[in-house]
Amino acid sequence: MLKLSKLATAMALAAGALAVQAAEVEVLHYWTSGGEAKSVAELKKMLEAKGHKWKDFAVAGGGGDNAQTALKSRAVAGNPPAAAQVKGPAIQDWANEGMLANIDAVAKAEKWDDLLPKVVGDVMKSKGNYVAAPVNVHRVNWMWANPDVLKKAGVSGMPKTWDEFFVAADKIKKSGDVALAHGGQNWQDFTVFESVALGVGGAKYYNDALVKLDPKALQSPTTTKVLETFKKLKGYTDNASNGRDWNLTTAMVIQGKAGFQFMGDWAKGEFTAAGKKPGEGFLCAAAPGTANAYTFNVDSFILFKLKDAGAQKAQADLASAILSKEFQEVFNQNKGSIPVRLGHDMSKFDACAQLSAKDFVATAKSGGLVPSVAHGMAIKPAAEGSDQRHDQRLLE
């Protein structure tokens, strides 16, 4: 009887432990396109393998703006999700509200300070404590192309300067195809604009004008040239571009309806999801004039303070899964980005990702590594509204 009693006690303790470990994790994100959905499914699979239940809170559209609106509503109501996709200076804003969980226990156990570039690790911290887990590194200043469309128009190779781009675009337009696939949404406009600014003015001008908002740089002849170049691009887009989502725009290039697109490397996830291979089904290169520069965008998840022990354990497991080699490998291959872990083996990644990783390291040393303003890596959300209205007037 004594042995049976001990066995029953052990089983009860084990059941209790499982009860603490297993929990529902509600995750807010805006990864809803084909390549993105495939990527987030990997994270869901890893978390459920640890015994937790993934509750999807996906909010499409707006380059994440719609998701942030939904998150604020939930937070104000006192019912935030367990985790939410938030990045850049916005992480600090949420932390300053006292709503984020301290995940130093996971970070220290898994040596995040050694795994992450300092510039990335610092963004994930508030007052020296980790409050967010970085997922990847995106390069924003990419140019994508359909090789068949280029060949049909007599364009050989990817243009390296803006002058070369306009020559190529004229040829494509003359051949009957759309030269530049573009979705007319504010964030897509700004994505293209910052690549133009970087290509025309260089990294120093970019930092002075778009990051520091230096009046001297903004009022310089370089800004005039940037605006003229950006305005000229409009003539190479199609009439149906207004309001079109970015992934539908990428589909135009995939389907051979358009020659070029300027978009971050999440676009590559759409190409690969469609069965296309770099160098064959699509071409990738830095946007004209930006081969020696790199606009970065780091996706991350903030974790909210929760009282339930099971939910806290699930959050820790989620953070651990995000930085694991396995997830970084599979996720970034699907997503089009590169692993955020330093020294990650890139041998299984395609040529575009390998170039991105190489340039990320090189530009970090040269000073060409700059935060993407269009994707919330440089300006606090509180300042974004007025800045975006100012930028919109410039673009018009």
Q: What is the pLDDT of residue 376?
A: 87
Q: Flag the least confident range among 3-12, 104-113, 166-175, 301-310.
A: 3-12
Q: Between helices 309-323 and 34-49, what is the axis angle to 10°?
A: 120
- Helix/strand/coil for 38: helix
Instruction: Report, as an integer, the average pLDDT of 172-181.
Output: 98
Domains 24-138+297-355 and 142-292 share a fold: yes
Alpha-carbon distance 380 to 92, whole Å?
Answer: 9
Distance of CA 239 to the CA centre of its chain: 28
- Helix/strand/coil for 359: helix
Give residue-wise pLDDT tens across range 29-81.
998 887 788 888 989 999 999 999 999 999 987 668 899 999 999 999 999 99
- Helix/strand/coil for 281: coil
Task: Write the CATH number of the domain with boundaries 24-138+297-355.
Answer: 3.40.190.10
Residue 385's pLDDT band (cuts 50, 70, 90): low
Task: Write the CATH number of the domain with boundaries 142-292.
Answer: 3.40.190.10
272, amino acid identity: T
> Where do the structural domains in the chain lie, given as residue ranges?
24-138+297-355, 142-292
Helix (H) or strand (E) holding 130: strand 129-130
Distance of CA 388 to the CA centre of its chain: 19
Distance of CA 24 to the CA centre of its chain: 26
Alpha-carbon distance 38 to 274, whole Å?
Answer: 12
Q: What is the pLDDT of residue 22?
A: 67
Give residue-wise pLDDT tens across range 184-199.
999 999 999 999 999 9
**Percent of the chain with pLDDT strictly greater than 70:** 90
pTM of the entire structure? 0.80
Q: What is the pLDDT of residue 382?
A: 61
Cite the DSSP H helix spans in the chain.
2-21, 34-49, 65-76, 90-96, 104-109, 112-115, 118-123, 147-153, 162-175, 186-206, 215-218, 221-233, 246-254, 267-273, 309-323, 325-335, 351-366, 381-395
Specify whether the CB–CB gap between 82 and 318 falls below 8 A.
yes
